[in-house]
Chain A
Amino acid sequence: MITLLNLNFFRNAVLISFILSILFGIFSFFIVSRKMAFLGVGISHTAFGGVALGILFNLNPFFTALVFCLFSAIIIGKVSKYGKISLNTSIGIYFSFAMALGAVLIKLKQNYNFDLTGYLFGNILGIRSFDIWTALGLLMIFLFLILFFFNRILFLTFDEEVATISGVSVGLLDTIMLFLLAAIIVVSMKMVGIILVSALVVLPASFGSLLSSNYRGIIWWGIVFNLFIIVGGLFLSYFLKTPPGATMVTSGTLIYFISMTVKSVMRR
């Protein structure tokens, strides 16, 4: 264990895991209760298009993915509004487009030995100190916003219309939420990968709501669950020699299924 933590890349991975556990633990609650889970799936997949753009133009994929995700969130909203289709349909159209675009762009940039699976499923060897600092920065911004805006976001999540009438600036808070969603997804890209990250958006709150019927409890249990599956999953993956992201998501989902079954059996 000690020697494991002496490995630079592994230490970085552990640090990021802790940060992600807190971020997803809190954020998951809002995403799930606003029924935005599919938006999380959609936006995380569009990150692939953003990464490809970065590769094509020799820019940092982190920033291109972040900008691209934000841009995508806006476009998804507009397509739904002007195309008069549901948000989910719009997400469905857009996220496959963004992934296809990514695949085309990467092919255009030939001879590039690009770690495709690393971005899709995560690769902790790719974590640099830059990633640690951005994750830490995001955590600070996030905790600041949550500390001050928590109750407004709660109101908005519960009852958007009445929140508007009562003086909550829905547009601003929605924008902040979208920005945070995009940022969290991009920060966790190297850890769990574009395809798997959406599991972390939905699992913690789903697990938490098995154990508590109050938002405080749901969030705390979500964080505990995350520490268990993200940090724990990282160590497990090392010993089983399995990919970390996939290990986290597999074990997390299994834990959720088992808890859910236990709970419904106990209820009878």
Chain B
Amino acid sequence: MKHLNNTDSEKILVRVEDLWVKFNDHVVLKEINLKLKSKEILSIVGPNGGGKTTLIRAILGLIKPYRGKIEFDQCINYRKKGCIGYLPQRTQYDQNFPVNVEDVVSMSRYAQKGWWEKLNSEDKNIIFQALEVVDMIDYRSEHFSNLSGGQKQRVLIARALAVKPEMLILDEPSTGLDMVAQDNFYHLLVKLRDQIGLGIIMVSHDIGSVSLFIDRIACLKVKIHYHGKPENCIPSHALEEVFGKNVNFLYHDKECETCKKNHDHFIKS
């Protein structure tokens, strides 16, 4: 794993340079340039099949890129001591796995310890805090398979938090959450960013509601069509390229100042 040389003023958690991913000659990602700093929320949006999950999995080292560079800050050392909390998209895991809520979150703590170690009171605290943050502490003895989709999602987010990460990667975390829960969840992310200083990458296919609280947005469909501030200024042609012509998510103003400033982020297609 390659590490970055960061200065103190700006901590870049991960930097992706000219990343390409191919599946059997089928190019899924091309020329991806992206970075995530600490204390910021980056949202990756795009249509289904646009390559969002693939990009995340490449960053996590679960897929071998065809080309390109992925570098992390010194503090990230996943696989040894997971500094990345990860919430996968697919529900590939067994929904009826015979564990309770606390067991699920404890798994993250066990993974962080030596194989000879048991969980101590500090670990218990971390587990309880993580459950409290997602508001699932009252369900800690509940059987995992008895929970609703949104509650399961929250428990899995608690599991990601129990890693004590520097960086969170969430793949479509709002799936299965209703409007109120979604709103609470977004506030939770803001809280994690502001209070703990986490860097967060969040995949979403719904740019309308995320753009209110995130710091930067990247529109992805094979390539990154826009990368910059979300404030009502994603160029309409970028949106069209990514989502198609019939989409009108965001109010767009061609004279938007932020947009002009951010044009260096914009990759011409």
Q: Which residues of A contact B (CB under 8 A)?
A: 33, 148-149, 151-152, 154-155, 157-159, 161-169, 209, 212-215, 217-218
> Are B88 and A162 in touch, CB under 8 angstroms?
yes
**B159 on the A face (CB < 8 A):** yes
A149-B115, A158-B99 given; A166·B106 CB < 8 A: no
Enumerate 20 A-B pairs (CB-CB under 8 Å) in ascending A order. A33-B97, A152-B110, A158-B97, A158-B107, A159-B92, A159-B107, A161-B62, A161-B92, A162-B86, A162-B159, A162-B160, A164-B62, A165-B79, A165-B86, A167-B82, A168-B111, A212-B98, A214-B98, A214-B143, A217-B98
Within the assembled complex, what's the spacing in Å between the Cα atoms of A151 and B100? 14
Query: 8 Å CB contacts to A: which residues of B65-116?
Result: 78-82, 84, 86, 88, 92-94, 97-100, 103-104, 106-108, 110-112, 115-116
* Residue among A149, A161, A162, A166 with most chain B CB within 10 A: A166
**B145 on the A face (CB < 8 A):** yes
**B60 on the A face (CB < 8 A):** yes
Name the distance in Å between A123's Cβ and chain B's nearest Cβ: 36
Query: Beyond the given A167-B112, A214-B100, could you list 14 further A-B residue pairs with CB under 8 A, ordered by the A residue number?
Result: A33-B98, A149-B115, A151-B110, A154-B99, A158-B94, A159-B88, A159-B107, A164-B79, A167-B78, A167-B79, A167-B82, A168-B111, A212-B98, A214-B98
Residues on the A chain within 8 Å of B159, using CB = 162
**B131 on the A face (CB < 8 A):** no
Residues on the B chain within 8 Å of A167, using CB = 78-82, 111-112
Name the distance in Å between B115's Cβ and chain A's nearest Cβ: 5
Name the distance in Å between B82's Cβ and chain A's nearest Cβ: 4
Q: In the A-B complex, list the 3 residue pairs whose CB atoms are closest, starting with the nearest.
A: A151-B110, A166-B111, A155-B107
A158-B99, A209-B98, A213-B98 given; A152·B115 CB < 8 A: yes
Chain A residue at minimum C-beta to C-beta distance from B87: A162
Residues on the B chain within 8 Å of A165, using CB = 60, 62, 78-79, 82, 84, 86
**B19 on the A face (CB < 8 A):** no
A166 in complex: contacting residue of B82, B104, B115, CB < 8 Å: B82
Within the assembled complex, what's the spacing in Å between the Cα atoms of A161 and B78? 12
* Residue among A158, A212, A218 with most chain B CB within 10 A: A158
Within the assembled complex, what's the spacing in Å between the Cα atoms of A179 and B233? 58
Within the assembled complex, what's the spacing in Å between the Cα atoms of A168 and B108? 9
**B12 on the A face (CB < 8 A):** no
**B163 on the A face (CB < 8 A):** yes
> Are A158 and B93 in touch, CB under 8 angstroms?
yes
Name the distance in Å between B258's Cβ and chain A's nearest Cβ: 34
Within the assembled complex, what's the spacing in Å between the Cα atoms of A68 and B115? 30
Residues on the B chain within 8 Å of A168, using CB = 111
Residues on the A chain within 8 Å of B88, using CB = 159, 161-162
Within the assembled complex, what's the spacing in Å between the Cα atoms of A163 and B60? 12
A213-B143, A213-B145 given; A166·B99 CB < 8 A: no
Within the assembled complex, what's the spacing in Å between the Cα atoms of A169 and B110? 12
Name the distance in Å between A172's Cβ and chain B's nearest Cβ: 10
Within the assembled complex, what's the spacing in Å between the Cα atoms of A162 and B159? 10
> Are B98 and A215 in touch, CB under 8 angstroms?
yes
Residues on the A chain within 8 Å of B92, using CB = 159, 161
